[in-house]
Amino acid sequence: MQTLYDKLWQGHIVHEESDKPDEMALVYIDRHLVHEVTSPQAFEGLRIAGRKPWRLDSILAVADHNVPTTERSHGITDPISRLQVDTLDQNCEDLGITEFKMTDLRQGIVHVVGPEQGATLPGMTVVCGDSHTSTHGAFACLAFGIGTSEVEHVLATQCLLLKKAKSMQILVEGNLGPGVTAKDIALAIIGKIGTAGGNGYVIEFAGNAIRELSMEARMTICNMAIEGGSRAGMIAVDETTIDYIKGRPFAPRGDLWERATTYWRTLKSDEGAAFDRVVTLDAAQIKPQVTWGTSPEMVTTIDGRVPDPAQVTDTVKRHDMENALKYMGLTPNLPISEIYLDKIFIGSCTNSRIEDLRAAAVVVRGRHIAANIKLAMVVPGSGLVKRQAEEEGLDKVFRDAGFEWREPGCSMCLAMNDDRLSAGERCASTSNRNFEGRQGPGGRTHLVSPAMAAAAAVAGHFVDVREIY
């Protein structure tokens, strides 16, 4: 009996020095996604060594971290950002790599673009020089982030040297309450296992609450696996997976589609397969989540309060909490609903897909952002998500409510472009990391779901979205 991870692992082994479980194995990579930040040094290394990419049709490139989310016809103003994007364009052109350039309608965040194009298919190994590659595990892929040396290694050999991780099953059973979303599940899991809880593990998310989620929601959950320390998260194939893929540009058609789907339906853990660790959550108990600190595990529920470090006995932990509260400008025991915001960011590879935008739009429709909100922005995950949202009239809903409607990219999730917080500014963000300085030096990030961010925009402070519906 095998877990899904066992099946994916075994199906990709090219070479093993021995069959000892602890040995490194040479693992074949099916899909290599590339963006501008972690690839230039890899392409340079390849060039210096006189090597060529092993398999061009495995690579899909897109610039997302540095791209402006405002008017693009004049290109990128920051010369250093521009050079990085130009370098990707040049490398792709020189080597014949498929790239969606900044002005291409299909451009967007690499982890939104891959699945949207059908470039992410069940059973694949998927890598990218980006930790949120775990997103693609939603399609029963073994998908994980790699460093630049590994980017070069995959370019040159189509393989990686890896050691098999341990397996963790996270079972979410029961029914989610209204207004509670995949992001809340993800944050609740991280709150439970901690940001290092998944270190050394690959996580499979299962249980009926996961089965009932859409592909967009499953991607949100797998995306956040890395915030729980796990390099890869995954979910078994079912009809929801197959329906999502059907008809996408890179997806198989005709006879191949039939053959592919027959195989894909086997991509699940066998009944009774053993995991090294099992964690269970009751979906009905999960409330809307809000982070209060500088690590995603520093999270509580909307009806909670900022915790008091004085109540914590572990000195390292207490010290970290004190640092976090100081950085966040929060006092112990403050009700979460009394935290006032300056900015609202709806976007990122975690929450910028059409369903996320719809969830936020439902909340803001016919309402307006509060007077204390200096900026509320929606950054769709790709040009195609943006177009679809516009076809549904969501751009108008957001604009009428006082939001800015932007061009696709990573934007203020990590603030490599001009979208950022100023020191001391407080943001309700649908992104994945609340680290110090993540959204701009001195910026204060609270991670929430799109619906919760939208509700906070309207109220000016955090509010229980379940009361707004």
Partner 1 sequence: MVAPLDRANIDTDAIIPKQFLKSIKRSGFGQNLFDEWRYLDHGEPGMDSSKRTLNPDFILNQLRYQGAQILLARSNFGCGSSREHAPWALQDYGFRVVIAPSFADIFFSNCFKIGLLPIVLGTDSIDRIFSEVDSTEGYALTVNLEDQTVTTPCGEICSFDTDPFRRHCLLNGLDEISLTLQHMDKIIAFEQRRRTEQPWLFK
d(CA 169, CA 158): 29
- Binds partner 1 (CB under 8 A): choice among 102, 186, 237, 414: 414
Residues 430-469 that bind partner 1 (CB under 8 A): 433, 435-438, 441
CB atoms within 10 A of CB 20: 7
Residue 278 · residue 197 · CB < 8 Å = no
Residues 225-284 that bind partner 1 (CB under 8 A): 226, 229-231, 251-252, 256-257, 259-260, 263
Residues 292-331 that bind partner 1 (CB under 8 A): 295, 316-317, 319-320, 323
- Is residue 223 a contact point for partner 1 (CB under 8 A)? no
Q: How far is the CB of 34 from partner 1 (least distance, A)?
A: 13
Nearer to partner 1 by C-beta: 142 or 394?
142
Count of residues in the chain: 469
Residues 340-399 that bind partner 1 (CB under 8 A): none
- Binds partner 1 (CB under 8 A): choice among 92, 113, 121, 210: 121
- Binds partner 1 (CB under 8 A): choice among 163, 246, 326, 399: 163
- Is residue 44 a contact point for partner 1 (CB under 8 A)? yes
Residues 122-141 that bind partner 1 (CB under 8 A): 123-124, 129-131, 133
Q: How far is the CB of 281 from partner 1 (least distance, A)?
A: 22
Helices (H) and strands (E) in the chain, counts: 15, 19
Q: Which residues contact 412 (CB under 8 A, 6 or more apart)?
A: 343, 345, 347, 377, 379, 419, 420, 421, 427, 429, 431, 439, 440
Nearer to partner 1 by C-beta: 296 or 383?
296
- Is residue 4 a contact point for partner 1 (CB under 8 A)? no
- Binds partner 1 (CB under 8 A): choice among 8, 102, 126, 146: 146
Nearer to partner 1 by C-beta: 155 or 357?
155
- Helix 383-391 vs helix 110-117: angle between axes, to the nearest 10 degrees? 70
Provide the token pair at 313. Answer: 């006995």
d(CA 406, CA 395): 9
- Binds partner 1 (CB under 8 A): choice among 147, 178, 247, 424: 147
CB atoms within 10 A of CB 119: 22
Helix, strand, coil abundance in the chain, percent, nearest 5: 40, 20, 45
Pairing of strands 201-206, 166-173: parallel
Nearer to partner 1 by C-beta: 57 or 243?
57
